[in-house]
Amino acid sequence: MLNTLKQKLRTWRLQRENALYEKAYLRKFGSLPPFESFVIHENRFSRRRLNIIYLTSYDGTFSINNTYLPLQELGNVFRFEMDPKDDRKQWYIKKEAINRQMVRFIQETMAQHAIDVIVCYLSGRTLTQSTLDFFKTLNVPIINESLDDERKFKSRKGPDGRYRGMNEICSYFDVSLTTSKSALIKYVVEGGKVLYKPYAANPLIYRKLGLEKKYDVVFIGANYGTRPAYITYLRQNGISVLTKGSGWEEGNATPDEMIVLFNQAKIILGFAGVGINDDIFILKGRDFEAPLTGSFYITQHHAELEEYFVLGKDIETYASKEELLEKVRYFLSHETEREAVANNGFNTCLHHYTAKAAYEKILGYLGL
């Protein structure tokens, strides 16, 4: 009951925030912009090796594999990680000092190298006003990337009085990148220059290993929200599900183990919910990582998936526990069809949704 109330409250807050920003945009600009105005279609990257400063609050598996490593393919990367241990409880105690360290790192790096671009994974939670003001003094394009803006564009205020999301900081960057369509006009209202960055994955990491398919269903991710209910339902109906991640009895999977397990899965299970909500669905990095391992992928249905995949041909989707069970049973017993979908999903992601190509388009847009 408590989770249901929290879910309804979060949904109401998100819908209210979206409506308020839409009204603000209409007051400022008269009409809503076409989505295409935020999309880069051509790859105009010069192909020259760049000197890149990469600033991140904390590099998890996703950002390492799909940002840091792809950037290394494009040039020399000088990285500063603000909080390597992701110690959020102590963050605000050390925020000012670490910001000063980061500014010194930028100054020293730029004194030694001709930097072409600065790429950031930062937020209002991690940045101080003095750092933002420093960014404005630099004669180098600065990109800031944000995931999950669907629910965290503004977020709540931290102990320092600054909102933890993007709303107060986006105007300090030359370009902001978001994977959330609903956030695009929010950036504009707040004075930011924003581009839509389609999800993508790194095929040098998420790759086929040619292993035997020994697990019926594999899910790797944290245990929260409605996920345990779906997995319990499958298990109660005779489906063997291997789970790995925070909160599961089987424990966590290392990044390398995850790739192996995905390769050994007949079916990789995905979820599309935002936090505890099962009524707001968004694209996930897993939607692109999983197919690149060559295994069949099924996740919760939502309309945005149709912009990337031919559903039923590249990947499969479900709208309920019952439909999930029905499709899992069907594809476990129809190997040829299952492998055909897996192969189509692999080719679609490999040819259209790679992290390196996504960054090439962005850098080309900046004239690099």
The CATH number of whichever domain residue 193 belongs to comes to 3.40.50.2300
Q: Is there a single domain that holds both residue 109 and residue 150?
A: yes
3-state helix, strand, coil in the chain (%, to 5): 45, 15, 40
206 in a structural domain: no
Percent of the chain surpassing pLDDT 90: 84
Q: Is there a single domain that holds both residue 347 and residue 361?
A: no
Alpha-helix runs per DSSP H in the chain:
2-29, 61-63, 69-74, 91-112, 129-135, 149-152, 184-189, 227-236, 255-264, 286-292, 321-332, 335-352, 355-365
pLDDT confidence bin for 275, thresholds 50/70/90: low
13 in a structural domain: yes
pLDDT at residue 174 is higher than 70: yes
At 303, which CATH number?
3.40.50.2000
Q: Is there a single domain that holds both residue 173 and residue 119?
A: yes
Domain that holds residue 77: 2-200+355-365
pLDDT at residue 51 is higher than 90: yes
Q: What is the pLDDT of residue 278?
A: 66
Q: Is there a single domain that holds both residue 359 and residue 342?
A: no
pLDDT one-digit tens code per residue, 83-139 = 887 778 899 999 999 999 999 999 999 999 999 999 999 999 999 999 999 999 999
Q: Is there a single domain that holds both residue 178 and residue 240?
A: no
Q: Is there a single domain that holds both residue 192 and residue 229?
A: no
Q: What is the pLDDT of residue 263?
A: 98
209 in a structural domain: no
Tokens, residue 350: 């490999």
Q: What is the pLDDT of residue 147?
A: 84
Question: What's the order of all strands across the beta sheet hosting 175-178?
Answer: 75-81, 50-56, 117-121, 142-146, 175-178, 194-196
Domain count, the chain: 2
Tokens, residue 32: 């809503």
205 in a structural domain: no
Q: Is there a single domain that holds both residue 288 and residue 361?
A: no
Q: Is there a single domain that holds both residue 219 and residue 194?
A: no
Q: Is there a single domain that holds both residue 130 and residue 28?
A: yes
> In this structure, are strands 194-196 and 215-220 parallel, antiparallel, or unpaired?
unpaired
pTM of the model: 0.90
